[in-house]
A and B are shown apart, each in its own frame.
Chain A
Amino acid sequence: MGGSASLLPQEVLSEYQELTFLSKQEILLAYKRFSELLPKEGRENACSARVPKSQILTLPELRANPFQHRICRVFSTSDNRDDSMSFEDFLDMLSVFSDSATLDIKSHYAFRIFDFNDDGILDKKDLKKLVNCLTGQGKESQLSNTEMEQLIKNILEESDIDKDGTINLSEFQHVISRSPDFASSFKIVL
């Protein structure tokens, strides 16, 4: 803790604390874990380095998560779409998944994660991919075609209020607000 504290200057630390929902200890722990992902030579300026996606996916919190690729895509700000993450992207991700983030922020990012084709709405294809991610990759544990059709029809019936066949952000947030357990399940702690 003493070693990594000296690597992150105090003003930068307080700036990060202001801009995210994380506490000082959480930011320092994130810094430590992030610099462990870098090769030994690059650890000095971890703040400005970018970690490739394959390295990020070795983190135990993301290793087995079915939404790992979507998480990297949503939080990465790299220009050449290779889903690499800088330290600030990493903090962004941890902030959204932290304990103190508001329900609004969490549902906003959950919507972006579930939007597999990045078009700003959840249509039938997105919902189908979402359900397949949830039920796992094994052949026996996936829903059959008829079951999938029935499920998607029901979801749209319940949540599509303007009846346009897709779910937009407000409709999604309205559905999420009905579940009191969402905030505690949409959480990743290092």
Chain B
Amino acid sequence: SLLYYGYYSNVTLNDPCAFSPNGSACPLAVPYNMPLAYMFSVGVSFLVTCVLLMYSMSHSFGESYRVGGSVGDLAVRVFCAWDFKVIQRRSVKLQCENICTQLKELLAEQRSRSHSLSLCQCLRHTAVLFLAWALSLGTVLGCVLAVHYFSEHMHAVRQDHQARASGRWQQEAILLVLPLMVSLLNVLMPHLYNLLGMWEKHDSPVAEVYVAIDLILKMVVLGLLCYQWLSRSVICSTEECWETCVGQDLYRFVVMDFIFTLLDTLFGELVWRLILEKRLKRKQRPEFDIARNVLELIYGQTLTWLGVLFAPLLPAVQTLKLLLLFYIKKTSLMQNCQSPSKPWQASHMSTIFITLLCFPFFLGAAVFLSYTIWSVQPSETCGPFQGMETIYISGKTWVQVLEKSNPNITWFTWVHHHLLENAFLLFFVSGILLAVIYFNIQVVRGQWRIIHLLKEQIANEGEDKKFLIQKLHSIYEQKER
């Protein structure tokens, strides 16, 4: 169907010269070269996404980073704590309680830091941290191995069913099991990590550790799935048109992710709130975990980026899914949840999440895409790149055709040959980038030093002022006598 790679053909549509091969004048029609269009639209959309991500990352980083800002932020938190937009009495009371809790926690943390820990406590603290990391990484490894063996098992089952020629619905259901399992893991493991975090609250290697572990889990599972799709040893090994098969698989993953996010909202928020209120009779509602929800969004978006080459209409599906998710989550949030108890520094956290979106996930998708375009052989019988060695070859042949047809634009081919295919340019650009970064780091260091000196100067001037005022007082008193 239109959704997948295999629908698109490798002909040049609407080619005016196709019917007059004798060199006579071609009728006025605009030809549409399908392979080029396909490759360029995917490439350009990735480039635009990259530019937008870089821009938004630098913008939010600029807003949230302050030179000399790590002095300690208790004063900042106290002065900027109150949100004047809150007007309901119950929310005001909640805000007061939150502020009180935060201040008490910060003060307690500071007190415990200033007391030098005895050796025993230090060892215990390190042991707990080590245990937490070991346990979490162990679970990640376990999940990844489970996914690997499970997919092999499903492959065997599917071949078995194909041999027995069982019904189409059964075969479809078998194909759905792996996405189901991966989505289930993605939804359950963060809840498990939250529970672990609550259990160790007092000594607390903090909640950020568990966000990091969740992130690592998603990255490694996606990496394993990408490897399986590209090597085609377990998935789509018998298909002729493997790109369509991979596209279908990705589409199943996106849909399963959507279904499981809905189920998670339903059970994690609505049902949990009902249980808390009716059975356990507690007044507290479940907290809305912003970090977990953002990571789920990032995971869904990465699936779309991975699938753009194989299922070109996947972004449309993703847009629809995001619209629905937004309104459903918003309703559920208003009805069922309360705000998190830890302070949420909005601009600081959004910088972190945009950086996360860009660095492991977008970069990984871009690497996957580049590898597919540069090195993987497309299938022989379907799609716009049938019969070529790699997808990239079509771009190259186009440039050569261009060169032959119009001798006036040899500069374009020269640019293409020397810039895009030459590795030297890449090193040169990286070198310049590194130099700029080093320069900026030195500037920031210099500014730090100046701030420090100026602070000392102000303190000294305060002392001078006090001294002079005292002198003035003593002289005045002497004069009075």
Contacts and interface: CB of A to CB of B under 8 A. Distances in A.
A28 to B, nearest CB: 21
B459 A181 contact: no
A61 B87 contact: yes
A185 B96 contact: no
B119 interface: no
Interface stretch (B40-48, B72-80, B221-229, B363-371): B72-80
B455 interface: yes
Given A158-B72, A178-B73, A187 B103 contact: no
Nearest to B60: A180
Given A135-B99, A161-B455, A63 B87 contact: yes
A60 B91 CA distance: 13
Contacts of B103: 131, 134-135, 143, 147, 151
A121 to B, nearest CB: 14
Point out which of A150, A155, A178 has the most chain B C-beta atoms below 10 A from its C-beta: A178
Nearest to A185: B83
A16 interface: no
A163 B76 contact: no
Contacts of B92: 64-66
B479 interface: no
Q: How large is the interface on B (under 10, 10 to 19, 20 to 34, 35 or more residues)?
A: 35 or more
Contacts of B97: 136, 141
Contact of B110 (A110, A136, A154): A154
Interface string A85-128: 00000000000010000000000001000100000000000000
Interface string B82-93: 111101110011
Interface stretch (B62-70, B160-168, B372-380, B437-445): B62-70
Interface in B194-214: none
B74 A154 contact: yes
A179 B74 CA distance: 11
Given A158-B74, A178-B66, A114 B79 contact: yes
B82 A151 contact: no
Contacts, number: 118
Nearest to B348: A180
Contacts of B142: none
A19 interface: no
A189 interface: yes
Point out which of B79, B88, B92, B459 has the most chain A C-beta atoms below 10 A from its C-beta: B79
A19 to B, nearest CB: 22
A148 B139 CA distance: 43
A77 interface: no
B346 interface: yes
Contacts of B89: 63-64
B458 interface: yes
A185 B73 CA distance: 17
Contacts of B415: none
B406 interface: no
9 contacts: A63-B87, A66-B82, A110-B79, A114-B79, A135-B99, A158-B74, A163-B462, A178-B66, A178-B69
Q: Which 5 A-B pairs have the closest CB atoms?
A: A136-B96, A162-B462, A135-B100, A64-B92, A158-B75
Given A135-B100, A161-B458, A163-B459, 20 more contacts: A60-B87, A61-B87, A64-B92, A65-B92, A66-B96, A110-B79, A114-B79, A134-B78, A134-B103, A136-B100, A142-B100, A143-B104, A147-B104, A150-B111, A151-B74, A151-B107, A164-B462, A178-B66, A185-B80, A187-B85
Interface of B: 63-64, 66, 69, 71-76, 78-85, 87-89, 92-93, 96-97, 99-100, 103-104, 107, 110-111, 345-347, 455, 458-459, 461-463, 465-466
Interface of A: 60-61, 63-67, 97, 110, 114, 130-131, 134-136, 138, 141-143, 147, 150-151, 154-155, 157-159, 161-164, 172, 175-182, 185-189
